[in-house]
């Protein structure tokens, strides 16, 4: 019951912001979603797609606005982590909704396959914002980070906007579907990264293979 009320309140808020501010409101919503994710993109973007289907907004405009907000929010979080370092992230972890063990895991993954983590992580709920932190603390090159974030955000945003457009009045079903596949996607990512790490180690240590 409580979860349903929260979802309804979030939906009403997103609805009002998009209706009152249009694409500028969408930029703001996606910026906030990437920094402090109280309003998930799984709600924001399908609703925007619904408005596209009704002819109130254009698909290109919505995609551009959503991606701009996503990239700006990601850069903001990256820069905070880059200049503040790990102590900053740990100090304000409760605000950023990051636990120390989450950052430890993210750092470990990032050191092995940073670019893949940023690109694929932008398409996984619960990981989207988290990838910005190790990218910043480990000082991933800015251009590389922004380029990968842009590509990943474009793919994620286009998929959710398109889904909302197609489903029309039933756009709210998208969040349920995304939630059900988010964990399997994360598991697949971990398996792929693990396999890639084994292959990399195997190729770098030919002498060990002979033994």
**Treating both helix axes as pointing N-terminal to C-terminal, what angle do 2-21 and 23-35 enclose, rounded to 10 degrees?**
140
* Residue 155 lies inside a defined structural domain of this protein: yes
Tokens linked to 176 = 């349920």
* Residue 211 lies inside a defined structural domain of this protein: no
Collect the ranges in the chain with pLDDT lower than 50: 1-6, 179-198, 200, 208-211
Helices (H), the chain: 2-21, 23-35, 41-53, 59-91, 93-96, 100-121, 132-137, 142-167, 173-204, 206-210
What is the number of domains present in the chain?
1
Give pLDDT, residue 79.
92
* Residue 148 lies inside a defined structural domain of this protein: yes
Helix, strand, or coil (residue 99): coil
Q: Which domain holds residue 125?
A: 2-205
Give pLDDT, residue 171.
77
* Residue 210 lies inside a defined structural domain of this protein: no
Give pLDDT, residue 76.
92
* Residue 36 lies inside a defined structural domain of this protein: yes
d(CA 21, CA 32): 15
Which tens digit of pLDDT belongs to each residue from 61-96? 999 999 999 999 999 989 988 888 777 777 766 666
Give pLDDT, residue 62.
94
* Residue 84 lies inside a defined structural domain of this protein: yes
* Residue 81 lies inside a defined structural domain of this protein: yes
Give pLDDT, residue 191.
45
């Amino acid at each position: 019951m409580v979860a349903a009320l929260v979802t309804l309140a979030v939906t009403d808020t997103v609805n009002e912001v998009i209706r009152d501010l249009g694409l500028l409101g969408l930029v703001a919503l996606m910026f906030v979603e990437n920094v402090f994710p109280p309003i998930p993109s799984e709600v924001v973007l399908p609703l925007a797609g619904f408005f596209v289907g009704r002819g109130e907004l254009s698909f290109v405009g919505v995609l551009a606005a959503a991606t701009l907000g996503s990239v700006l929010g990601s850069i903001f979080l990256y820069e905070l982590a880059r200049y503040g370092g790990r102590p900053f992230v740990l100090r304000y972890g409760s605000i950023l909704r990051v636990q120390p063990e989450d950052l430890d895991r993210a750092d470990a993954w990032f050191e092995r396959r940073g670019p893949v983590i940023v690109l694929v992580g932008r398409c996984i709920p619960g990981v989207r914002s988290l990838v910005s932190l190790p990218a910043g603390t480990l000082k991933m090159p800015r251009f590389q980070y922004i380029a990968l974030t842009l590509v990943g955000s474009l793919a994620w945003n286009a998929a959710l906007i398109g889904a909302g457009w197609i489903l029309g009045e039933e756009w709210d079903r998208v969040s349920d579907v995304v939630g059900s596949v988010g964990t399997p996607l994360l598991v697949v990512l971990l398996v792929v990264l693990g396999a890639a790490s084994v292959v990399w180690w195997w190729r770098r240590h030919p002498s060990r293979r002979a033994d």
